[in-house]
Amino acid sequence: MPITKQLHISSPGLADQDLVALRTAVKLLSQAGQSFSLEEKYKNSAHLLVLDEESDGGRAVLKNSRAGQVKLLLSSQPQTGKNVVAIQKPVDINTLKNLLSKLFVVMQAQLLKATQSLHADKPVSDQSSGTPTENMFDLLLDIKANRRTMEIKSESLPTLLVDGENRSVATSGSMDDVIKTVQTPANLLRVKKLDGETTLSGTQQLNISSLDTILWVAAIECSKGKLLPGHTIDKPVKLKAWPNFSRTSFRPDHLKLAAMLARNPLTLAELSQFSQVPYDDVVDFYNAAYSVDLIEFQENLEQMRKPEQKQDSKRLGLLSKIAKRLALSG
């Protein structure tokens, strides 16, 4: 008897009538043996996103969703694409049910294949990546940019399975093990490309981390003040969002750099000058922020800049004293 997994659906922001149709279709399919869970809020980890393409909320979620996440779009002009299927609005329950049933079968096959690939004794492919890399940061960035699926081995450390499509890293080891692997020179790593169809979403008994979390650590550990190829120090940039420092190795200077780049677009040269953080550290921070998609390039600098706030020196002194008082232990 084939083993099937429950498929997790996330359906944020659907109109009431569409939600009722979805609930009904899922209930009918579950009664027929196809098991779904339905979450009405956005879940990044869901196997399937069901969205109204014509609602503001649906478009926003679609824009921010993972590329590898399968989407079912409700649309008055349905168009399909990679990992995207569409259904005509207004939604007919039977049509939706049949479509979900087909998706269930297809996605089960993908999940089964992924699980088999990850638990196989040998890698899916023995083909080397062939990618020229100097360190783990280069390698991980390449995996993410080209949506590769790679196996990375380092002597005496647990293997990393890196999925650039779903932006995840699976390993049986701890985060400390991952950091040690990141610090390993590239010439001591064994890298193998896995089947391009493989995804990590169905893995079990492995610790799964976001690829961005590992990329951030790799950028800080490996950049050593060397700016990414093609990037310049005189182009103004801004942060789109704060990095999630709680998931990464914390460095106090990064708070200062993040606060300044979140407020105003600055060139890296200006950022180093204004923050008084060493240039090499600014570059490491920039590389990390760029690699996790937090950097926004600014063309019209003067229009974007907020007026400088005149800071009271007494106030700055107080804030500095509080920061000193609340310095991290150790």
Partner 1 sequence: MFNQVEKIIFTGPVGAGKTTAIGSISEEPPVGTDVACTDESRLIKDKTTVAMDYSYITLEEGTRVHLYGTPGQQRFDFMWKILAKGGIGLVILINRDHPDPVAQMEFYLNSFDDFIAETGAVIGLTRSGMQDNVDVGELQARLFERQQIFPVFEVDARSSDDVKILVQALLAILSC
Instruction: Please tell me whether residue 188 binds partner 1 under the rule CB under 8 A.
Output: no
Size of the site for partner 1 (CB under 8 A): 41
Residue 206 or 239: the one with the smaller Cβ distance to partner 1 is 239
Pick the closer one to partner 1 by CB: 119 or 240. Answer: 240
Residue 21 Cβ, how far from partner 1 at the closest point, in Å?
23
Residue 44-83 contact track with partner 1, rule CB under 8 A, x = bound: x---------------xx--x-------------------
Residue 268 found at the interface with partner 1 (CB under 8 A):
no
Q: How far is the CB of 318 from partner 1 (least distance, A)?
A: 6
Nearer to partner 1, 138 or 212 (CB): 212
Among 24, 256, 280, 305, binds partner 1 (CB under 8 A): 256
Shortest CB 314 distance to partner 1, Å: 6
**At its nearest, how many Å lie between partner 1 and the CB of residue 252?**
7
User: Judged by CB under 8 A, does residue 245 bind partner 1?
Assistant: yes
Pick from 31, 77, 276, 311: which binds partner 1 (CB under 8 A)? Answer: 311
Which residue carries 């087909």 as its tokens? 102
How far out from the chain centre does Cα 244 lie?
Answer: 12
6 lies in the binding site for partner 1 (CB under 8 A) = no
Nearer to partner 1, 19 or 99 (CB): 19
Nearer to partner 1, 3 or 327 (CB): 327
Rounded to a whole number of angstroms, the minimum distance from the CB of residue 104 to partner 1 is 24
Please report how close the Cβ of residue 265 comes to partner 1 at its closest, in angstroms: 12
Residue with tokens 């944020």: 12
208 binds partner 1 (CB under 8 A): no
276 near partner 1, judged by CB under 8 A: no
For partner 1, give the closer residue by CB, 188 or 319: 319
Residue 132 one-letter amino acid: P
Give the C-alpha separation, 66 to 81, whole Å.
14
Q: Is 321 in the site for partner 1 (CB under 8 A)?
A: yes
Distances from the Cα of 277 to the Cα of 124, 253, 269, 281, 285, angstroms: 45, 7, 10, 7, 11
Six token digits for residue 156: 């005496």
Among 35, 185, 250, 278, binds partner 1 (CB under 8 A): 250
Cα distances from 106 to residues 4, 7, 20, 47, 316, in angstroms, run 12, 11, 24, 12, 59
Region of 128-136, 141-149, 197-205, 309-317 interacting with partner 1 (CB under 8 A): 309-317
**Residue 297 in the binding site for partner 1 (CB under 8 A):** no
Smallest distance, Å, CB 39 to partner 1? Answer: 9
Alpha carbons within 13 angstroms on the beta-carbon side of residue 67 total 12
- Site residues (CB under 8 A) for partner 1? 41-42, 44, 60-61, 64, 239-242, 244-247, 250, 252, 255-256, 258-260, 262-263, 309, 311-312, 314-316, 318-329
